[in-house]
Amino acid sequence: MRPHVVIIGGGFAGLHAARALRDAPVEVTLVDRTNHHVFQPLLYQVANTSLAPSDIAAPIRWILRAQRNATVLLGDVIGVAPAARAVEVAGQGAIDYDALIVATGARHAYFGHDPWEAHAPGLKTLEDALDMRQRMLLAFERAEWTADDAERRALLTFVIVGGGPTGVELAGTLPEFARVALRPDFRRFDAGTAHVVLVEGGARLLPAFPERVSATARRDLERLGVEVRTGKPVTEVSADGVTMGSEHIAARTVFWAAGNVASPLGRALGVPLDRAGRVLVADDLSVPGHPEIFVAGDLAAVRWDADRWVPGVAPAAMQMGRLAGSNASRLLGGVATTPFRYLNKGELATIGRNKAVAVFGPRIAFTGRPAWFLWLFVHIMYLVGFRNRLSVLLQWAYAYFTFQRGVRLVTPPVAPSA
């Protein structure tokens, strides 16, 4: 019997861990709660009706179909027993392992205000994106019914909390969508009056980027019609809108892009966690006291250098996944594991159409149309599977030239009164 490597999670880290074990003399079992891998950097384009869910997601078992030593199982891992070397799958019992790779990622966090989630959904899964899409479209549908001016204004106000790349990208596409695509479709109000507010508690947008880039992003967003509010943390989110101290923005639709908390499975390992619930892993991504357990992706807290932690971005998750896979193979083959070295591939964020910001290391930063084309190229290249790439390119071309969006479906049907 070849040794058994169990991978929990089919995101960037889990998938790349599985691929790294392709030629290793091991059996691999990847367990995920969904049947699909999601290209998370484009989730916001499902939320904003630009892309269909199937454009950015593919079945995990289809991605790994040619890897004969990998079995994919749809299941919800509810526990890990490090002493017994087994994981517990809801309704299916235990799966034993010789090495374990935990790559269950993160969820959005509400900083101790969990009730806010009902009013301000975050964006981590396809379901999250469909929920956002539905809330946005229903707000416009409700605006067509209402005769009350204040209610209509609140329905047409969209607040996005969090000024990181997700918040910036979500905010940047909404004004044009309302002004161009939606305006001809409504009769009783002007969809172009929709108001988008981006709220960031910190001093500036895109805090991971240089200050100059943050300023460019802010200016670009404001030109698109986005109201940018920085420096005042949100103190309350309710069905009525968002409060920042003494200020209140009346809004029926609030989206959350303001923070992450690691998957609860980290706690199940019984090892030290950081404040965000991430597992403080060793250099080789293994867990203290359990060299046969590795953690990769957003669930892992690992040092970049003395001052910084590796950020929770897709390239970092892929790199960690690959190393966790090869280290598991090394361990089982009796070879010394190797430490993780983060290769910074730069940071990118789009701002509406034609604009983006890109940063590579401390010296290189560019903005505007070149950055936007780079963003386009990188995202198309990384999309899993030829079909998706082609479909996404065509839909983007369609949206770019016609200003229309293809995926404005509300499913399941919900009456606007509901």
Residues between 176 and 195 with contacts to its own copies, criterion CB under 8 A: 184-188
**What is the C-alpha R_g of the chain?**
22
Q: Which residues pair with 367 in a beta bridge?
A: 357
Catalytic residue among 169, 200, 292, 347: 169
Q: Give the shortest CB-302-to-its own copies separation in angstroms.
A: 28
Q: Examine residue 381 and tell whether it contacts its own copies (CB under 8 A).
A: no
Tell me how far apart the alpha carbons of residues 201 and 233 are, in angstroms, rounded to a whole number: 4
Q: Examine residue 390 and tell whether it contacts its own copies (CB under 8 A).
A: yes
Q: Would residue 141 show up in a list of annotated catalytic residues for this protein? A: no
Query: Which amino acid is residue 403, in one-letter code?
Result: F
Query: Which amino acid is residue 125, in one-letter code?
Result: T
Q: Examine residue 87 and tell whether it contacts its own copies (CB under 8 A).
A: no
Q: Pick the piece of the chain touching its own copies (CB under 8 A) from 140-148, 233-241, 322-330, 360-368.
A: 140-148
Bond before 82 cis per omega within 30 degrees: no
What is the residue whose two structure tokens read 């079909």? 387
Q: Which of 83, 150, 381, 415 binds its own copies (CB under 8 A)?
A: 415
Q: Examine residue 130 and tell whether it contacts its own copies (CB under 8 A).
A: yes
Q: Of 117, 135, 99, whose CA–CA distance to 6 is shortest?
A: 99
Q: Which of 16, 61, 153, 322 binds its own copies (CB under 8 A)?
A: 61
Q: Which residues pair with 6 in a beta bridge?
A: 29, 100
Going 267 to 271 to 275 to 278, the CA torsion angle's sign is: negative
> Structure tokens of 80?
């890990």
Task: Reduce the DSSP state of residue 327 to 3 states and report it.
Answer: helix
Tell me how far apart the alpha carbons of residues 357 and 375 are, in angstroms, rounded to a whole number: 9
Q: Examine residue 53 and tell whether it contacts its own copies (CB under 8 A).
A: yes
* Contact status, residue 30 vs residue 71, Cβ threshold 8 Å: yes
Q: Examine residue 127 and tell whether it contacts its own copies (CB under 8 A).
A: yes
Going 296 to 299 to 303 to 309, the CA torsion angle's sign is: positive
Q: Examine residue 391 and tell whether it contacts its own copies (CB under 8 A).
A: yes
Q: Examine residue 126 and tell whether it contacts its own copies (CB under 8 A).
A: yes
Q: Examine residue 406 and tell whether it contacts its own copies (CB under 8 A).
A: yes
Residues between 6 and 35 with contacts to its own copies, criterion CB under 8 A: 33-35
Q: Examine residue 380 and tell whether it contacts its own copies (CB under 8 A).
A: no
Q: Examine residue 147 and tell whether it contacts its own copies (CB under 8 A).
A: no
Q: Which residues bind its own copies (CB under 8 A)?
A: 33-36, 52-55, 57-59, 61-62, 65-66, 68, 70-76, 89-92, 125-127, 130, 137-138, 141, 144-145, 184-188, 387-388, 390-391, 394-395, 398, 402, 404, 406-413, 415-418
Which active-site residues does the annotation give?
169
